[in-house]
Structure formats: C-alpha cells, structure tokens
A and B are shown apart, each in its own frame.
Chain A
Amino acid sequence: MTAAQETRSPVLHGTRPGPVAPGGVAHAPSRAARAAILGTIGLLFLLPIVAMVEFTLRKGLGGGYDASRWVALAQDGLTGQYRQVLVALGNSVALAVGTVLIVLLLLVPTLLLVHIRFPRLRRVLEFVCILPISIPAIVLVVGLAPVYSLLSRLAGSGVWTLAFAYGITVLPYAYRAIQANLDGVDVRTLSEAARTLGAGWGSVLFRVLVPNLRRGILAAAFIAVAVVLGEFTIASLLSRVNLQTALVVVSKSDPYTAVILSLLALIFAFLLLLLIGRLGAERTRPRRRRPIGGQP
C-alpha cells in the first residue's frame, strides 16, 4: 500500500464526526446569533468609553461640547504639568515587561520540569500558583512591606522592584493559561523525540517546547500586561509611581484631563496587546518553498 492510498485525516478533508453546520463547527451558533452576542458585549464595553469621551468634551456648567481640552493637551503635550504621567506610563511599561519576563523565565521552565520529570508535584504547584488569587492586594502589601523594606536597603527602592509583587499577582492567571496549553500538547513525547534526535535540553526547550506553547505563553503575557497596566493598589500602598497612581493624582486637580489620559492609556494598552498578538501569531505556512530536488 502506498501513502496515497491511505485515508486522510478528518482535518484535511474538513469533516468531523457528527452533525456539522455548513461551513462551521457542530452546534455552533448561527451567524446572526454570533453577531447579536458580539454586538451586545461590544455595546457593554463601549458604553463607559463613550461616556468618558462625552465627559471630556463637556464645556462646563453652561452646557455644550467642544474639544478644547483635547486640543490643549495635544498642544502642551505631556511635557508640562502632565509630564509625570509620561514617566508613570514608562514605569508601567517597564513593569509590564519585567513581570512578563519573571513569568516566562520562572514559570514556564518550572511548569515544564514538573510536567516532564516530577508529575506528582503538579497538584502542589497548582496550589501554590493559584494561592495569590485568594489573597487581597492589601493583605499582600502588608506581607510584602517588610520584604520591600529589606529590598530597598539591598537594591534601592526603584519602581522596577514592583515587578516581583506583580509577578505574584499575575501568577494564577499565567499558570492557568500555560497549563491549559500544556495539557493539550504531548510535551513528554515531543521532548523525548527531540532528545533521541540529538537535541540537548536547550534545543528541546527553545526549538520544540516553547514554539508549541506559544499560545499559552502569549495568553500569559497578555494577562500580565493587562494586569500591570491597570494595577493601582499595590503601587499606591508601596508608594511607587505607575500609570494608575499618576492618573489618580491628575484627577484630583483636573478630572477632565485625567479621563482623557485614561482614554489614551486604554488605546495604548489595546495597541500594545495587538502588537504582542501579531508578534506571537502562529505559523500556518511553510517558511520556504520546495526543497532542492523535491517533487513538485
């Protein structure tokens, strides 16, 4: 029997067992239902944003609308009295990067190690990783305060140190995202296959496992960035400046501008997540054409 005689997989033929709606997954909602669901959810998200925009366009107590505050902010830029917001934004982005790095460099190898070599520790690891979700931020800060006082003496009180606390805050979400991906990939067999082909552990990790965990890692990165950009409590209580604390300061003197800055921060976060998504998009095509001497 030749390879061509074999039956192709269902994926190749685009068929699946059971009733399948034309062009879709079995029991998938109709196009209209999907549009209704997405429209409703979109409206729910859009309403507060529209309200924010409306608020920033108000003239004052006299009524009416104009874009004077937007124009003023655009003319002065963030170099004047709002320069602190720009600094805070930089802090938050740096913290987001730091937190993502902590998650990726610590959590991913640990999860893989437990999954491949110490599967019995999986429950323990899950408990440890999920634990922070049950601890309120204020309690976390109380516990972290003495650690940070020691850290300040050893490494200074730079805002970057917040990344450690954020790493803990993000841990439950990142764990779930990566673990869900791990459960869907036969990591053990893939790593064994790579090792029998001559790959060392470094190659196994970076050439085989990480590319196949891309989706989970990306989701973890998304969550980490979103949490860090929106975090206020820990930064405020530990007296560090990030985007959210800076916005609160601005809102005390100029609530309109604070809302404009919040809107800009939202757009920035959206674009950042879009960029991460594009960078991590999965490969669906071969890298290059046919090999030398290959058949057409």
Chain B
Amino acid sequence: MPDKSPQAAELISIPALLARNARKYGAQPAYREKEFGIWQCWTWIEAAEEIRALALGFLALGVEKGDYVAVIGRNRPALYWSMVAAQKVGAIPVPLYQDASAEEMAYVLEHCGARFAVCGDQEQVDKVIEVQETVHGIEHLLYLDPRGLRKYDHSRLHAMREVMTEGRAAQGRLEGELKAREAALGYDDTCVMLYTSGTTGKPKGVVLSNRNIIETSKASSEFDRLRAGDEVLAYLPMAWVGDFIFSIGQAYWNGFCVNCPESPETMYENLHEIAPTYFFAPPRYFEERLTILMIRMEDASRFKRWLFHTCLNFAKRVGPKILDGEPVSAWDRVRYRIGDILVYGPVRSRIGMSRVRVGYTAGEAIGPEIFEFYRALGVNLKQLYGQTEASVFITQQPDNEVRADTVGVPSPGVELRIAESGEVFYRSPGVFVEYYKNPDSTASTKDPDGWVATGDAGFIEESSGHLRIIDRAKDVGKMADGSLFAPKYVENKLKFYPNILEAVVFGSGRDKCCAFINIDLTAVGNWAERNNIAYGSYQELAQHPQVYAMVQEHVEEVNAGIAEDEMLSGCQIHRFLILHKELDADDGELTRTRKVRRGLIAEKYDDLVTALYDGSGEIYTETEVTYEDGRKGKIRATLEIRDVAVVGADEPKMAAE
C-alpha cells in the first residue's frame, strides 16, 4: 500500500471508520429515521451489522471489486448503508439525483457502466427499468420500499431486506471473501463517484478517493470542532457532494448521528424535533424560512408584532457582536437575554435551530439581510465556498470572522491562487482524482501540479485575507463599451428581494443590460392577498401591473446600489420583463442544484431577448413546458416590457467616447 497518513494508520477507508466507530461508540446512535410517526434508531453496532449483512448480500449477488453500484432515492439510512456496503466489497457507490428524468439517468448509468442499482421506491425502480431499454449494463436491482412492486418480475429485482437475509445465510461461505476485500481497500482507491450537474454540457463523473474524503473530513471537522454526539439532518440530495461529506465523511470520521426525515414534506417538522447541532442549507432555504416566518408574523396580534420587531431590531445591533465575542455592554447583554427568552429562543426552536453550533450556507450568494437575521437570532451561520472537485471545502469562515460578502479563508490544507484573469485556483488534499472516462476535461481542469480551476472569478480582500467571489469566470464578460459585465452579481442583488425568485441578466457584448425576472409565488401571492389583488394563476399574477410596478421599484433600487460601484456601474438594468413561467429544472432551464443555465435560456427565449433590446413595449410568446410526468405542453402569453430609470447613465458613456 502507498503512504499512509501517520495520525490514522488504520483509518484509510469508510468501512475502516465504521469498524472503529462500532468499537469506540458502539451503543451511541449512528442513524435515526422517522417512520410510522416514531424516530427509529440504530446504534453504531447495529448499523455496522446491517451494513455487513448487506455487503454479504452484495457478494452473494456477485458484486465484483471495482463494480459501480448506483444508489437512487431520498435520504434514508438503508441507502447510506448500501453505499458503505458497496465500499466494503470493493465496489464504488454512485449516488444519483432522485428527481433526474429517465434520460438523464440513462446517460449516467451508461457512462459509469453500473451493474447494480439500489432504488428507494417504485418510482426509481420504474425509471431504471425504463432506462434498461437502451442501457443494458444493469444486472440486479435492489429496492427498499416494496409498495407497488409486488407484481413486478422478481428474477433480477430484489427487496433489500431479502438480500440482507441471504447475505446473513451465506455468512459462513462469504465471510472470508468479505474480510479480504475490506482489507484490500487502499487510501488512494476510489471512495465514491459523484456526477456534477454542470451548468453546461453532459454531467461529469468526479472520482474522489478515500484520501480525498477522509483528509477533507478530518481537516474540516477540526476547523469547526465537530465531535461525536453532534446531530445532522440528512435532507439534501444524496448525489450532492456536500451530503456525502456531511452524512458519511464527517459523520464517520467523528462518529456523529445522521437523522433522516420521515418524508420530504415533513422536513421542517423533523428538523424542529431533531434540532441538529450542525446544519447546512443553501441560501434559498434560509430565505424561504424567513419569508414564511415574516408572513406568519403579519397575522399575529399587534402586540406580538410590536414585540417581535422591537426585539429583532435590537438583536440586529447586538446579536452578531455577541456571537463574534466582541465587547458588548452589560446592559445590552441583559436586554439580549430578555429578548432571547421572549423572542429569539422560541423563533430558533420553531425553525429547528435551537442547538445549532455550526451552520453553513453555500452554493449561491446570500442576502446580507437574511444572513444578519439568523446571526442576530444567535445562530452561528457561516459561509463556505466549495466544489465537488474539491470534496467540498475550498474556503470557509472561521467562527469569529463572519461576513455576508466574503466566503472565508482557505480551509486547512488548501492553497489558493488568483490567476491574471481573476479566476480562482486551488490545490488541496481533497482535490479529485479525475473525471471518469474523460481525460480531456480532467486535463483542462486540473494541471499536472494539482492546481484546479474553479471557474469562478474572485479576489482576496487585503484587509481580512478572505476570498470574495464576483461571478462565474466565463460569465464575466465585457459590454459593447468595454465595461465589466458580471451578471451573477446583479442577479444576486435582485434575488435578495423576497419577491424575486430568479433573475437572468443579459448584456455581454451589448450596449446595455436587460433582465428576465421570476417572481416568488409565496411572497407575491401573500402580498396580493393582502392588497385584494385577485389572480388565477402564476402567469396572471406575474403580468399584473402592480406586480410590475413593485418589481420595477426593486430593479431601480438595485441600479442605485450598482451605480455606487465604479467597476460595475455599467451593469445597471435598463429594461426588464417578468417571465410567464417559473424557470424549472425539468425544462432544463436550471440545473438540478437550481443554478441558472444562462446560455440555454437565452436561446430558448430568443424572441424575448430580442424584444428587450428592440425597444418594443410588449411581446407575444409561446413556450413549451414539460410536466412532471414527462408530457409536454405549451403556454402562451403576452408579456409587458418595462423601461427602468438608470443612475448616472449618460455621463460615463459620453466620457468613454
């Protein structure tokens, strides 16, 4: 075996960590899942036993070393076990996005050549069966929830429970083989393969080794002092690298407990019941939670509203300081303590954050107001910046240096470099091995010295040493007059308004910027209700003149903000329209992780983009939409286009000429 890290001579694979946890934390909870209304619990010893049975079952089914095992479903302990069981027999788990369509799934299954697939329920089994018409690699299918599957042909379809039973029955025969396979796992063997959603092109299979995962988990756990006894809620897609690091890497390294919700719809309730100590959510989640809270507060009695807002305003001033350990007067501390009893404590408990020691958000920029709100309540919310290719962590914010506009300092073991072009490069023990079967992409992303291009443009702030991300490097362009164009920067500013769900800004190579806006149905719908505005559909609400007026106000405010930044003042929005449908991953407009696919949108709504720039006041359009079951339909609409006031528009242009 190649070199081992000295601190952890034995701990060079996830199964090895599992064995250690079963020895060291045996009777402590390893997994919980709410089922039939009760939290079911498995200790580390029990989990290890289930995983062993499943691994033996895999051997009985004929899983070979180096096979790929696809895992598809919502977060459930048994699916996590199937990933570790696959590793135990020397196979490589490939978690897939459960909401992927059959076509998307077909590509991935064919690309990795999976021989086995583990599915959560009938829906996923159906998709894999459909895929098999074109992809013939799958030999055996396992499923967890038997509902609706009774009548299916079971010659190659197996209930996971039965596979485990067979594994236990064959223990005598297969035990030796299992031990040998497990002992052969090396530090540089593949731990997991994760497909990146990719804003462009086909998904790529990112190969991460045991070294990548374990070194990263170790370093990041030390950074945030994670420990056995911590609790996480596993609710983000299993195919996403973050979930793998949090729910397997860090969970196994530290021996903490992974809790799985009863169903996706009960997530809020389950979060409240578990009250995790370590929590991750995308900015969108925090926004949603805040929107719901504010809407509920509107319905509260006048006194409660007054109390809530008074306490909150005070907390915004004092809360973050207390969190960061800055000096705060004794009187303020007392007042904060009272507020904590009356308001902050109950609110934290309601949103399931009463015990959060470490909370992270990443993936997109988060609105400063939202960020401040949670910190004011005493939630230690921080930002991190990461990628699948880095095993998540590139930079993260230390406990006492948290700010809304930076993404933190390099994580332990990570080196950063900013290229001439402004693109951020990094090198770390977590850097991926390769893109599976794609040496060209590997070479263009990772240079021979191990430096990886992030594809993001940013700079390191001199005063604090924190990294600030401006935009996707390839999206940062020049406008016709040569000034800098950073669409994401503007879009994020727009999206900070609760009424705006998504925004797409155009302007590269053109003389001015224009935007598509998606309204947020929850927030705007609530506003409409309060203002007695009747509407029958999303489309109707989106085209309402008062909604337009409101959005116009937001856009103008954003323009004023952008105008203050000299470098980016050219990015002010001159014209906008509100789209007649929500941008949707099913239509390919967003990635599965909800990132805007700019190029595709520009192409698909070519007529609308043209209308934005040719000065017309409205435009009739037809759009094809895909329903959840894959059928297609058309929606028709006439969209209004509005001109927006721009700050100091004329002078700089004149000067440039």
Partners in one complex: no
Chain A contact residues, CB within 8 Å of chain B: none
Chain B contact residues, CB within 8 Å of chain A: none
